[in-house]
Amino acid sequence: MTSISICASDELIEGGLGVRFPLTAGSDDATGFVIRYAGAVHGYLNRCAHVPVELDWNPGEFLESSGLYIMCATHGAIYEPETGHCSGGPCRGSRLRKIQVSENDGKVFWHPDDYIQPVIA
């Protein structure tokens, strides 16, 4: 399995800022992001399930003020950090596109799949 480094593990603080990274989604340039929630790292395509816009308020600000949900800055949709399931707002019942991530030797990595690939040069 291909592993692409995102950041050092200690850059992801529980309930804190996420880290964005470039990728290709289908044939489009896009970004992914990782956050730390409930002690684990979770990765998603940075695209709202309602309308395909980036989620973060400012770069890396994915969680709403309580730190319990990922929130779309444009539409107010809220997503469960562990599953990406939309539990409130205009996309209720949909979900974010999960990106496989791992954490080894103090680093966080993402793993491409059939849809999510490294940036095309």
Q: Tens digits of per-residue pLDDT, 44-56?
A: 999 999 888 999 9
**pTM given for the model:** 0.95
Tell me the residue range of the domain where 42 lies: 4-112
Question: Does 120 reside within a domain?
Answer: no
Question: Does 64 reside within a domain?
Answer: yes
Q: Is the pLDDT of residue 121 over 70?
A: no
Phi, psi of 11 (to 5 degrees): -75, -20
Question: Does 117 reside within a domain?
Answer: no
Burial 85-115, CB ≥16 within 10 A → b, else e: bbeebebeeeebbebebeeeeeebbbebeee
Question: Does 81 reside within a domain?
Answer: yes
What CATH number corresponds to the domain at position 98? 2.102.10.10
Question: Does 47 reside within a domain?
Answer: yes
Question: Does 91 reside within a domain?
Answer: yes
Question: Does 25 reside within a domain?
Answer: yes
Number of domains in the chain: 1
Question: Does 121 reside within a domain?
Answer: no
Confidence bin at 119 (pLDDT 50/70/90): very high
